[in-house]
Structure 1
Amino acid sequence: MSKILVVGVNTRPVVNSFKKLGFEVYSVSYYNPIDCHSDKSEYLINDMSHGNFYNNYSEDELLNLANNYEDMVDNYIICSGIFESTNSKIPKWDTIGNSPKKINEISNKYNITKNLQKLGYNTPITKKINNKYQLEKFINEFEEVILKPLFGCGGIGVIYINNKMLNIEFDLLNRLDIKYPILVQEYINSESYSISYINSNYLAFNKQIISRSDFGNMYVGNITPYSPELISKGFETQINQFSELIETLDLTGMNGFDFMVKNGEPYIIDINPRILGTYETLEMSCNYNLAKVLLGSECPKMEEIYYKRVLFANKDIVFKKDIFKKYGINIEDYIRDLPMEGAFISKNEPICTLIYPELNKDLISDEFIKRCI
């Protein structure tokens, strides 16, 4: 029996897929949901007191735990949160999907943006900024900007600033404690979308659900699949070009392209060269185990539309599985990433994930989400 180690911030969806195929599956992660069915798991979180993710997460600790399995497993699968920083240690793992070296290479936001521009793809106007004065000049020129760390995937560390904010609060840039050099991009006023692939196989077009705050946006879920024709007629033809990037960038396994729309054209915002946040909605939409696709099988067509919503605590709470019944709805069948019963979860930390079919989108409304988070 083949042995697999899944490594990342949250490994549950992939662990459970490979377990269903009969693999012996180990997990090294930050979170430890009780519905993750690995044969053995090691994790960083305190089961009964979750604390703050940004204060407690350590890529080095995760990697140290993973190294204990080096002589035990046949393959590794990499989820988010590892090999995505400038100081990442890069082991030589036999991976199903992109290697740690490739993930780290693609996670260099500045280099990959410049590479995409050379290849003729649309990206936001981007500049590497070395000090506050350069940043102020860029903000005044473009009026609205996005700040990003030079390394990383997804929305961690992303900040929105406009020149009105600078005029209202003179010392804002000092108060934000920005670490230079930093990447700054023009702000594109658009919904957020993504495309998911396994190897060179197109899986689905997705709409990302983004929570917007004063200083930035945070991914809190997605809709899979989402019709490109809802953006504009013929838009699907434009995004088909992204499949060429899989070969050009020598990507394998699961990959995703995040983008926005400007003047009717897609602008690439991020490339995610590892297991995606859309993994589970893709799997449920096509009613097929994606572990098989990662191992080489063809993926069936996406059929039913599924929603994913990550719920965050709007105050400190003690988790109980029936916590949502006070809102008058029963959603137990849709809850994933379950914490331990009685776990203390701090304000603004994730409680759990909801994954549900479109036919129940009115049951789990935006108003319900707002009351929970």
Structure 2
Amino acid sequence: MKNILVIGFSTRNIVFSGSRAGYNMYAIDAFCDYDLQQCAKAFSKLDIGESFDASKISLNEVTELIEGFGVDFDAIIPGSGFETIGLERLPYWILGNDPRIMSEVSDKHLFSIFLKKRRIAHPETVLLHDIGMLEFPVMVKPACSGGGIFNMKVESPEDLLQLGNKLKEAGMPPGKSKIIAQEFVEGIPASVSVLSTKDRAVAIAVNEQLIGTTWLTGMPFAYCGNITPFENPYASEMKLIAENLILELGLVGSNGIDFIITESGPVVIEVNARFQGSLDSVEMATDINLLDSHLKAFEGIIDVPAEIESEKENGSANKYAGRCILYSDRKMVMTEAVRDMLLEMNVCDVPVTGQVIGPYEPIISVLCSGNDREEVICGMKDSVMFIRESLNLLES
């Protein structure tokens, strides 16, 4: 195994992981960030227009981009959104889950039915036209979408009248027409990272999720990153639930389960049957290379340190680590001066010079590690404050 291609909207974390493990990493990516370009052996930009809907991208278009590299790839890894576009029809080893399984678990409505049959704690979920079955407030979101930027809390039936306009203002692609309504659950967002083969699953980390974090974004439910580990009284229970779910679903490789930790215990929210946004913090905290571990899992091997596999009471980490995503509050253009300033810090996902960043779009990710959660939070906040001040100074 030598040459690996990753296809997705944003592939930087997977490419970095594979490069650190010694593989020749290639990328088809919608952003082609500066640091991705520096790391990948070669890359090709995916033209997505104004949509982040992979179903609008033809397999022929992707095939042309693949052939354009002129490389005999040993494997292709589909990133988020590209798991069900038909890559399995290509003459390559596809290191992703079965598209039929993906179609079911990525649909939040179908997944809710799956969980309800098994009596696993999960928010009551209905299609939007059945919202009257739920008590307000409710969470309204696309059935098949990630990142949380289109999630909206609806307080009353009257608020539904403005829902269409609000989703349009948030930039939701017209194709994402299947909308669900969920019981609104109060609690702390978290996730469990799992490595699995067809007959074995090992939870390697419990992660705190940063959702709608006010010093990073103005969007109340946007995904803003992770801190690993997340020590809490339900960590052991969450890991067991995640391992059992992954096995029953038949998922292989690196997969994750999102939870909300309520006063009465963990509630399953959704499955991320692919590499997760927590990849950076998990790798920094556990010293596990997730790309290499993902490949080995498809060969039937779970290769993690014994102390992590045996640990069941906490986040299974050697240290604390975090990645946070800073969102823009206005339209801006990445300049060479700004880029060079950012590169002096411990950051990733650095936009290329000339890239236009719209309001509420990600600017950059900040990485930090430390001896405890407080040290990681303080380090990320200091970096974010410096970046904001520098951006204001450079644009004034």
TM-score (norm 2): 0.77
**Structure 1 partner of 2:57:** 61
Structure-1 separation of matches of 2:22 and 2:143:
40
Structure 2 vs 1, CA of residues 177 and 344 (structure 1 numbering), >3 Å: closer, same or farther? Answer: closer
Tell me how far 1:263 sits from its aligned partner. Answer: 3.9
The percentage of aligned residue pairs carrying the same residue is 24
Tell me whether 1:312 sits opposite 2:327 in the alignment. Answer: yes
- Select 2:378's aligned residue among 358, 362, 366: 362
Secondary structure of 1:35's counterpart equals helix
Per the TM alignment, residue 236 of structure 1 is displaced from its structure 2 partner at its CA by: 2.1
For residue 171 of structure 2, what is the aligned residue in structure 1?
A: none
Query: Could you list the per-position Cα deviations for residues 98-151 of structure 1 after superposition, in whole angstroms to 9, with x for gaps in the alignment?
Result: 133332231121111111111221111111233xxx43x34xx51210112232
AA at the equivalent of 1:211 = G
1:146 aligns with 2:148: no
CA–CA distance in structure 2, aligned partners of residues 235 and 289 of structure 1:
22
Residue identity matched to 2:117? K
**Cα distance change on mapping 1:317 and 1:298 into 2, 3 Å:** same
Question: Would the alpha carbon gap of residues 355 and 106 (structure 1) be closer, same or farther in structure 2, given more than 3 Å must change?
Answer: same
Distance change (3 Å), C-alpha of 1:42 and 1:54: closer
What SS does structure 2 have at the residue aligned with 1:243?
A: helix
> Which segment drifts farther, 35-44 or 268-277?
35-44
Equivalent residue number for residue 113 of structure 2: 114
**Against the structure 1 CA distance between its residues 322 and 282, is the aligned structure 2 distance closer, same or farther, given a 3 Å change threshold?**
farther
> 2:151 corresponds to which residue?
158
Higher fraction of helix: 2
2: CA distance, partners of 1:20 / 1:170: 48
Residue in 2 that maps onto 1:191: 188
1:217 aligns to 2:221 (yes or no): yes
Deviations 1:13-64 (A, max 9, x none): 211222233333221111111211222211136xxxxxxx882435243754
Distance 2:77 2:205 in 1: 21
Aligned 1:327-346 pairs, distance under 5 A: 332-346=344-358
SS in 2 for 1:102: helix
Q: How does 1:62-141 map to 2 (within 5 A)?
A: 63-68=59-64, 69=66, 72-83=72-83, 88-89=85-86, 91-92=88-89, 94-130=93-129, 134-135=130-131, 137-138=132-133, 141=134
- The answer to whether structure 1 residue 172 and structure 2 residue 191 are counterparts is no
Distance, in Å, in 1 between the alignment partners of 2:58 and 2:232 is 38
Query: What is the number of equivalent residue pairs in this alignment?
Result: 347
SS in structure 1 of the partner of residue 366 of structure 2: strand
Q: Given that residues 311 and 350 in structure 1 are in contact (C-alpha distance below 8 angstroms), is that contact kept between their aligned partners in structure 2? A: yes
Q: 1:270 to 1:154 in 2, by over 3 A?
A: farther
Cα separation, 1, equivalents of 2:272 and 2:365: 20
Q: CA deviation at 1:225?
A: 1.1
Q: TM-score, normalised by structure 1?
A: 0.81
- State the match for 1:48 in structure 2: none
Q: Does 1:298 align with 2:303?
A: yes
Is the 1:28–1:62 Cα contact (8 Å) retained in structure 2? no
Are the equivalent residues in 2 in contact too, given 1:44–1:57 (CA < 8 A)?
A: no
User: Is the alpha carbon distance of 1:235 and 1:42 closer, same or farther for their aligned partners in structure 2, counting shifts above 3 Å?
Assistant: closer
Question: What RMSD in Å do the two structures reach over aligned CA positions?
Answer: 3.2
Stretches of structure 2 that go unaligned for 5 or more consecutive residues are: 169-175, 297-301, 309-316, 392-396
Gaps of 5+ in 1: 46-52
Distance of 1:9 and 1:66 partners within structure 2: 12
The Cα of 1:246 is off from its aligned counterpart by 1.6
Contact preservation (8 Å) 1:253, 1:294: yes
One-letter amino acid of the structure 1 residue matched with residue 203 of structure 2: Y
Quick check: 28-37 or 266-275, which moved more?
A: 28-37
